[in-house]
């Protein structure tokens, strides 16, 4: 297992997520959990959804197996890039001229005036989708060369751009702050593209793309493009259940009290930190290695990677899950409770965060096991499993949202995570899972989690006496 690459990737993601938390701290101070914060989060929701889908592996796991198998890599890559980029530009132009329908889709529960006020921000933010696709495409080529640092760290550029906007416009009215953030999103996306272009040039990968452009009409690559098409949509769906579920939750939250969209956003930001730096970082590094091993019929090596990664994720995610649930109030207090974000909003966000954290371990392990489905071109199986998880999550959301509010939406997402893990493990091979856990490490895991829970409970009591 490539521990050095995993830790390098984790460090880059950690840097990105820490700057993201810094951004959210300033945003909470400037806007609180208000109608303007809800408006910005709705406007940013769709491009941010696709950022997570693309940047956190869904596009890569659909593209990488076909790219590895391709006999004309430059031609294949260029053909896919052009097709997607032209489609996204056309789609973005459509949203720019007709932003109200897409805003209505994002916020069903809002009235016409609120949707109209949000529509302009939706049109601005939507162009980030085009930029993040370019970033993700270039990042996939870098991952093929086992270079992960640029992609992991580049999201920090988006956060730095938004922090700068908040710093400059902090004392302005909420409308000015929200619009400044929207334009900062585009500036951050452009900086991410620039960072990847520079790295592509340094690794001489631009020559492959230029060659692909020159021979882009080569007929031999037609079958490869057809094969990619059969993998892409199932791959995106299969890898995007948490993001799609969160997207639907945002829509449902617009039917709840003002601030519910913001509670979900702030809590999900904290939840995403351990998920990204532990699970996503590990999966990103392992995927090229697992894909190449399975392509070379070396299942022993592939499952050796799985075994080692399983226990690394179990211990780290298990500790993060317990820490996040027990220490939720001190965490939210430290990060967000200042300015217009008061104690009432803290407690609302705490209950949402705790429900999200319940699903941290299953989502992380599902991410790991799903590598084998994508590496072996079983994208349709992964998609069916994602549908099971998504249906469960949405059904639970509808059942729980009225009694538990935004917390019920978060808990429903976690329930969907357990369903996702169960069926993913079953498809990869329950016997493989049983072989992994049939070890003394299982006992060590249970004992260490019990001990960690006790320590976190004592720490939480002490911290609460200090902050309250």
Distances (CA, A) of 133 to 72, 107, 218, 362, 429: 22, 24, 24, 28, 33
Spatial separation of the C-alpha atoms in residues 97 and 91, rounded to whole Å: 10
Structure tokens at 25: 């701290």
Q: What is the pLDDT of residues 39-48, one digit of tens each?
A: 888 888 777 7
| pLDDT value for 451 | 96
**Do residues 209 and 78 lie in contact, with contact meaning Cβ atoms separated by under 8 Å?**
yes
Q: How far apart are CA 133 and CA 193, in angstroms?
A: 9
- CA-angle at 66, arms to 62 and 72, nearest 5°: 140
Give me the mean pLDDT over the 203-219 stretch. Answer: 64
Q: Which residues does 450 contact at the CB level (< 8 Å), separation at least 6?
A: none
3 confidence band (pLDDT: 50, 70, 90): low
Whether 122 contacts 95, CB under 8 Å: yes
The first and second tokens of residue 337, run together, are 């409770």
Rounded to the nearest angstrom, the gap between the alpha carbon of residue 372 and the centroid of all alpha carbons in its chain is 19
Each residue's pLDDT tens digit, 411-453:
999 999 999 999 999 998 888 888 888 888 999 999 999 999 9
Ramachandran region, residue 57 (left: φ > 0; alpha: ψ -120 to 50; beta: rest): left
pLDDT, tens only, 221-275: 566 666 666 667 776 777 677 777 877 887 888 888 777 888 888 898 889 888 8
DSSP state for residue 256 in the 8-state scheme = S
Spatial separation of the C-alpha atoms in residues 4 and 404, rounded to whole Å:
43
């Amino acid at each position: 297992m490539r521990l050095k690459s995993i830790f390098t990737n984790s460090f880059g993601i950690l840097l990105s997520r820490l700057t993201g938390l810094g951004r959210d701290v300033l945003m909470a101070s400037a806007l609180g959990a208000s109608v303007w914060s809800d408006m910005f989060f709705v406007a940013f929701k769709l491009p941010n959804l696709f950022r997570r889908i693309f940047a956190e592996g869904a596009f890569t796991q659909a593209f990488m197996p076909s790219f590895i198998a391709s006999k004309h890599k430059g031609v294949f890559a260029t053909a896919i890039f052009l097709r997607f980029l032209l489609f996204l530009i056309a789609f973005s132009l459509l949203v720019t001229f007709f932003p109200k329908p897409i805003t209505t889709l994002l916020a069903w529960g809002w009235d016409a005036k609120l949707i109209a006020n949000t529509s302009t921000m939706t049109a601005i933010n939507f162009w980030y989708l085009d930029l993040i696709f370019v970033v993700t495409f270039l990042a996939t080529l870098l991952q093929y060369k086992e270079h992960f640092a640029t992609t992991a760290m580049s999201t920090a550029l988006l956060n730095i751009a938004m922090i700068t906007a908040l710093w400059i416009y902090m004392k302005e009215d909420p409308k000015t702050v929200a619009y400044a953030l929207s334009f900062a999103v585009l500036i951050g996306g452009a900086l991410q593209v620039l960072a990847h272009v520079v790295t592509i040039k340094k690794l001489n990968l631009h020559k492959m793309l230029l060659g692909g452009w020159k021979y882009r009409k080569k007929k031999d690559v037609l079958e490869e493009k057809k094969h990619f098409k059969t993998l892409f949509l199932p791959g995106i769906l299969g890898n995007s259940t948490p993001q799609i579920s969160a997207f639907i939750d945002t829509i449902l939250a617009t039917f709840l009290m003002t601030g519910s969209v913001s509670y979900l956003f702030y809590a999900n930001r904290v939840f995403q930190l351990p998920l990204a730096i532990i699970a996503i970082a590990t999966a990103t590094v392992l995927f090229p290695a697992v894909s190449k091993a399975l392509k070379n019929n070396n299942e022993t090596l592939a499952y050796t990677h799985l075994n080692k990664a399983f226990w690394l994720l179990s211990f780290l995610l298990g500790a993060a899950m317990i820490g996040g649930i027990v220490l939720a109030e001190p965490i939210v207090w430290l990060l967000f409770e200042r300015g217009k974000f008061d104690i009432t909003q803290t407690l609302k966000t705490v209950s949402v965060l705790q429900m999200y954290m319940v699903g941290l371990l299953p989502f992380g392990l599902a991410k790991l096991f799903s590598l084998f489905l994508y590496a072996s071109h079983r994208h349709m199986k992964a998609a069916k499993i994602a549908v099971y998880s998504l249906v469960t999550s949405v059904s639970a959301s509808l059942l729980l949202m009225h009694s538990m509010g935004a917390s019920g939406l978060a808990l429903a997402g976690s329930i969907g995570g357990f369903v996702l893990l169960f069926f993913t493990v079953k498809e990869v091979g329950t016997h493989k899972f049983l072989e992994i856990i049939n070890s003394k490490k299982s006992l060590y895991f249970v004992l260490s989690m019990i001990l960690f829970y006790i320590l976190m409970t004592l720490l939480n009591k002490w911290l609460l006496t200090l902050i309250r």
